[in-house]
């Protein structure tokens, strides 16, 4: 009996501890860094290079957040997370924000207690095949063996796609991207499926890239977005507008190179955006010149895209859906006013 009482008291204390938890922004400022959950093994999005320096599109977006909060792109600590541990790490408060090429879905957004922020990359799932297979469309893949990573939306999507088209498939599930590629190039499967952002890079490392082709079908929507804990709206706003700053800067044609010149711009929108006219910073609880600093230190969305995954990198990805809305893409920023 006494023991039961003791347990009840402990649980109550724990619940109060949970309730009295301050906002993430205050926590982050108090400890002096942002703990960021990243992928750790996807080149171009979040991965350390051979010097141990973190690089990638997701990492750069996290750097923008660091600039917004601290005025420096390096106040970050990275926690590499697997597909299975990423959400718990966020729920339990081990990380403050998740930048891990993570697909926004309804169930994750609601039941898992996460809030997804603005999408920083629009992806979709495709197929890579050996040309010898003689297939021109994904619809002809009936009975194919499919190499796929487990535990991701990828595995679900491909099963759904085959089922809706009345086709049979034999999945070959391999835990690790490098091994998956190896198995595919060794002829273990007829086709390999993964996010389109990965396929180009995977094809590039084939022993003979010309033997392989990417099928035209994109079978899923994969909006990749950073995530924060549900219910911390102030922190979510900051993450949102750090990413949107990158997009908005590209819309205005502001880059890390011309941002100093743009400070003298007479355009009232740009003046407000860069903090020459005050207001935006105070509204978010940040410095007035946070947008200027982000662009100066990290660059705009186009610059980040090109240096991490763009056509001149090993991934060689076209802007496509990730172009600005004015160029036929989906990247669109609400006005900064």
From 46-54, 57-65, 302-310, 323-331, give the range in contact with another protein by CB under 8 A.
46-54
Q: Which of residues 143-182 bind another protein (CB under 8 A)?
A: 176-179, 181-182
Q: Which of 7, 9, 72, 93 binds another protein (CB under 8 A)?
A: 93
Among 59-67, 79-87, 128-136, 321-329, the segment contacting another protein (CB under 8 A): 79-87
- Considering beta carbons, is residue 5 or 51 the nearer one to another protein? 51
Contact call for residue 111 and another protein (CB under 8 A): no
Minimum Å gap between C-beta 205 and another protein is: 4
Q: Residues in contact with another protein, total (CB under 8 A)?
A: 43
Stretch that binds another protein, among 86-94, 218-226, 262-270, 283-291 (CB under 8 A): 86-94
Sign of CA dihedral 318, 87, 115, 108: positive
CA 168 to CA 119: how far, in whole Å? 33
**DSSP string over 13-53:** HHHHHHHTPPPHHHHHHHHTSEEEEE-SSBTTTBEE-TTS-
Instruction: Give the range of 41-49, 124-132, 243-251, 318-326 binding another protein by CB under 8 A.
Output: 41-49
- If one asks whether residue 139 binds another protein (CB under 8 A), the answer comes out as no
Binding window for another protein (CB under 8 A); candidates: 80-88, 136-144, 158-166, 326-334: 80-88
Judged by beta carbon, residue 8 or residue 178, the one nearer another protein is: 178
Return the closest-CA partner of residue 190 out of 123, 249, 141. 141
Half-sphere exposure of 112 (CA within 13 A, CB side): 21
| Chain residues 253-312 in contact with another protein, contact rule CB under 8 A | none
Rounded to an integer, what distance in angstroms lies between the CA atom of residue 205 and that of residue 166?
32
In the complex, least distance from residue 59 CB atom to another protein, rounded to whole angstroms: 13
Q: Any long-range contacts for 133-140 (C-beta under 8 Å, 24+ apart)?
A: 133/190, 133/191, 135/191, 135/215, 136/215, 137/215, 137/216, 137/217, 138/215, 138/216, 138/217, 138/219, 139/165, 139/167, 139/217
To another protein, the closest distance from the beta carbon of 224 in angstroms equals 17
Q: Is 178 helix (H, G, I), strand (E, B) or coil?
A: helix
Q: Is 22 in the site for another protein (CB under 8 A)?
A: yes
Encoded tokens for 298? 């990290």
In the structure encoding, which two tokens stand for residue 314, read together? 């090993």
* Closest by Cα among 224, 164, 150, 240 to 193: 150
Nearest partner of 92 among 37, 16, 150, judged by Cα: 37
Q: How far is the CB of 265 from another protein (least distance, A)?
A: 39
Cβ proximity to another protein: between 84 and 139 the closer is 84
CB 122 within 8 A of CB 321: yes
How is residue 178 written in tokens?
Answer: 């490098």
Is 205 a binder of another protein (CB under 8 A)?
A: yes
Task: State in angstroms the smallest separation of the CB of 83 from another protein.
Answer: 10
6 part of the interface to another protein, by CB under 8 A = no
Taking the least distance from each CB to another protein, the nearer of 221 and 230 is 230
Return the axis-axis angle of helices 57-70 and 301-308, rounded to nearest 10°: 140
Cα 247 from chain centre:
14
Q: Which stretches of the chain bind another protein, using CB under 8 A?
A: 14, 17-18, 21-22, 27, 40-43, 47-52, 77, 79-82, 84-85, 88-89, 91-94, 176-179, 181-182, 185, 201-202, 204-205, 207, 314-315
């Amino acid at each position: 009996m006494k023991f039961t009482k003791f347990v009840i008291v402990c649980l109550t204390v724990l619940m109060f501890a949970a309730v009295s938890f301050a906002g993430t922004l205050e926590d982050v400022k108090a400890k002096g860094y942002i703990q960021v959950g990243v992928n750790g093994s996807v080149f171009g999005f979040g991965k350390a290079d051979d010097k141990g320096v973190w690089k990638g599109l997701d990492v750069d977006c996290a750097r923008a957040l660091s600039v917004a909060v601290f005025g420096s792109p390096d106040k970050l600590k990275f926690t590499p997370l697997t597909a299975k541990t990423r959400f718990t790490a966020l729920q339990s408060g081990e990380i403050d924000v998740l930048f891990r090429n993570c697909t926004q879905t309804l169930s994750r957004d609601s039941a898992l207690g996460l809030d997804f922020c603005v999408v920083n990359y629009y992806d979709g799932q495709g197929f890579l095949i050996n040309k010898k297979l003689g297939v021109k469309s994904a619809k002809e893949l009936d009975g194919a063996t499919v190499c796929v990573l487990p535990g991701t939306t990828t595995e679900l999507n491909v099963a759904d796609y085959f089922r809706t088209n009345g086709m049979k498939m034999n999945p070959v599930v391999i835990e690790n991207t490098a091994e998956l590629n190896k198995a595919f190039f060794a002829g273990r499967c007829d086709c390999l499926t993964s996010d389109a952002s990965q396929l180009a890079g995977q094809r590039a490392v084939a022993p003979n890239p010309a033997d392989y082709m990417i099928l035209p079908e994109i079978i899923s929507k994969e909006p990749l977005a950073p995530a924060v804990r549900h219910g911390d709206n102030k922190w979510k706003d900051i993450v949102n507008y750090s990413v949107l700053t990158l997009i908005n800067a590209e819309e205005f044609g502001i880059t890390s190179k011309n941002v100093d010149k743009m400070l003298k711009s007479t355009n009232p929108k740009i003046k407000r955006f860069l903090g020459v006219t005050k207001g935006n910073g105070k509204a978010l609880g940040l410095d007035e010149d946070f947008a200027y600093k982000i662009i100066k230190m990290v660059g705009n969305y186009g610059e980040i895209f090109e240096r991490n995954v763009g056509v001149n990198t090993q991934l060689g990805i076209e802007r496509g859906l990730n172009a600005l809305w004015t160029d036929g893409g989906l990247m669109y920023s609400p006005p900064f006013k």
